[in-house]
Chain A
């Protein structure tokens, strides 16, 4: 089921890259808004520690990382973006633009935006495929590639 394999490699990459964007939404393992710079907390790789506090976010980052790496390998031309759902200034306009550009109706676009604002979500061309919980990596990858394949065939 490798979509890229079903299509001429160079063409698949180029065409996917030009037309399709996958946003992997997940929280960074750190404090983000409100504490300002004075409350920089988190990340296992800093002197300031704090990794244990955000172990749940870390687990989601790792899970998204697996999906990211798998898709980077199997659909190399796909525009992969990792965004934090607390980055409201960028995320929601981006989902809106992508959804409308790919012909989604207003209601579907708004529903997709609402679902994208989860601690973890997968958004392909403005369409939120998974939100809240992530199935197994392979299932996510197959689902994304399946959608891409349909769009490519269309």
Chain B
């Protein structure tokens, strides 16, 4: 089947979802009121609370949520065939992500722009705030671990990407000095920076960087050496003021995101490639079964709990009219779904046209360890449809993913610092308060340990470790989504409306997550992966805790509703 048809089918489904389901949500579930005075108007201060045009806000919202994660999940999940991955991305986006992202904006806006962490304590229970912090702690640990591995794999398999990826750093530092110290315009230097970056791609190909010598010297594998170098870089990067590197790189990343999306879809349209992957793949024996693993392998791109932080952190404070949460929240979710769709196309049609799909996805270890490589190769082929040599195109795609992953790690380590400090404070541990270097070191060492779990090397004897790490990441991301959906569902129920739109994805996610966690427990035990086993067990406890909190909160509201309705009937 031509890949173009998949685009048409998926986008048409998104259109239907927006036209009908989001309308149902807007009218029946969230009962959006055009006359409701949003926090942007009520608390209007021109700083945090600013009534903002819906198109401006959609741009802010989408660039805040889109990153590398919607690429990695689908790139692994097509192992089970393109059909399950596509169906989950489409249905997840329409029936879970849209509900979640839109609902997070609405509930936050109805609570004076409070964020989802605060709302969990207010709407669900006081304990839920602690649960939120713990889930985020595990999520960040896994985010940093998987992206460290992702970067290492890409550097190892695309040594031509090392120079372009490195050159971004001085470019961003120069832009930061230019804009923030000298107070000059940033857009032209960032466009020049992007062009320099692309100009460095052929240079990188001519002078590929290998660390084999260093690895041999220190007696480690090449991938392990890369992982350690990447985490060392992350420690340093996360100790720099954000305006030195992180913020100026935002501009380059934002432009890269748009360029990458544009060239992938243009490459599909021009090349008219067919999908080489089977609709349902006959997977190798002992592979994880798609049910339930598909639903946690693709988190971002189908539903991502972290979107609730963006939705409730900024968007809800700037939404001008409550009815626009449909356009921004639901629309933003569809945008993320489109990014996941691009990854599916690259890893099925693009990869298939460039080489042997079956060999690339021969088993789950190859599928997960090589997922990003497959995306890179597939995107390289799409670029070749546009007249750009495939090898250059592949390096371009590798650079996009590496710069995104690097930014995610930089931010993730900073965030983890705060989380560690807050958790230590809750636990009454004073020794960590204000100890930035120590906190940063802990925030780096914990995911580094996970990334170096034996078998983390895709060629390692224990296979699947990256895939397992990724699925653990997926479980924690789905738990964050579950917490947000609990808040949304309880809020809807408290208004005597039908909460099924939030309840069904909540139950579905909790079921899939806990099931996958249980399967993982057995798998890790059998393999003797004690660190992953401990991690999995801890996340399982959080999942059980969330299920109890959600059930208790729903039940409380159900009883309260009954009482209210009975009183109303009596009064009549």
Show the binding face of A for B, using Cβ within 8 Å: 24, 27-28, 30-43, 45-50, 53-54, 56-57, 61-62, 64-69, 72, 80-92, 94, 113-119, 121, 131-133
Contact = CB atoms under 8 A, between A and B. Distances in A.
Centre residue among A37, A40, A61, A117 by max chain B CB count within 10 A: A37
A29 to B, nearest CB: 9
Contacts of A53: 241-242, 414
B184 A38 contact: no
Contacts of B140: 38
Nearest to B139: A38
21 contacts: A32-B63, A32-B250, A34-B254, A34-B257, A37-B300, A37-B309, A38-B477, A39-B67, A40-B313, A47-B118, A56-B241, A85-B186, A85-B187, A86-B63, A86-B254, A87-B63, A88-B59, A89-B63, A94-B56, A116-B185, A119-B180
Contacts of A38: 67, 69, 139-140, 143, 300, 304, 306, 408, 412, 477
Contacts of A61: 47-48
B65 interface: yes
Interface residues of B, number: 79
Given A24-B46, A37-B306, A132-B182, 8 more contacts: A27-B247, A34-B407, A37-B66, A57-B243, A64-B46, A65-B46, A89-B63, A89-B258
A39 B237 CA distance: 14
Given A34-B254, A47-B118, A66 B46 contact: yes
B328 to A, nearest CB: 12
Given A31-B411, A86-B254, A47 B115 contact: yes
B188 interface: yes
B67 A119 contact: no
A72 B135 CA distance: 42
A36 B186 contact: no
Nearest to B412: A39
A90 B55 contact: yes
B133 interface: yes
Contacts, number: 220
A6 B132 CA distance: 54
A130 B415 CA distance: 34
Interface string B393-405: 0000000000110
A11 B308 CA distance: 42
A56 B243 CA distance: 8
Given A37-B307, A65-B45, A133 B257 contact: no
A70 to B, nearest CB: 9
Contacts of A36: 65-70, 300, 306, 404, 408
A50 B50 CA distance: 21
Centre residue among A24, A80, A117 by max chain B CB count within 10 A: A117
Contacts of A62: 47
B254 A33 contact: yes
Nearest to B44: A72
B418 A114 contact: no
A57 B421 CA distance: 23
Interface in B160-189: 179-180, 182-188
A126 B258 CA distance: 23
Contacts of B183: 118-119, 132-133
A132 B56 CA distance: 21
B136 interface: yes
B52 A119 contact: no
B536 interface: no
A33 B188 contact: no
A153 B70 CA distance: 53
A45 B52 contact: no
Contacts of B313: 30, 40, 42-43, 46
Contact of B180 (A56, A92, A94): A56
Centre residue among A47, A64, A68, A92 by max chain B CB count within 10 A: A47
B139 A87 contact: no
B362 interface: no
Contacts of A119: 179-180, 183, 186
B478 interface: no
B419 interface: yes
B273 interface: no
Contacts of A28: 60, 314
A46 B48 contact: no
A79 B18 CA distance: 29
A42 B115 CA distance: 12
Given A40-B64, A43-B314, A87-B60, A33 B46 contact: no
B63 A33 contact: yes
Nearest to B114: A45
A138 B224 CA distance: 57
B296 to A, nearest CB: 15
B204 to A, nearest CB: 20
Given A34-B257, A85-B187, A41 B56 contact: no
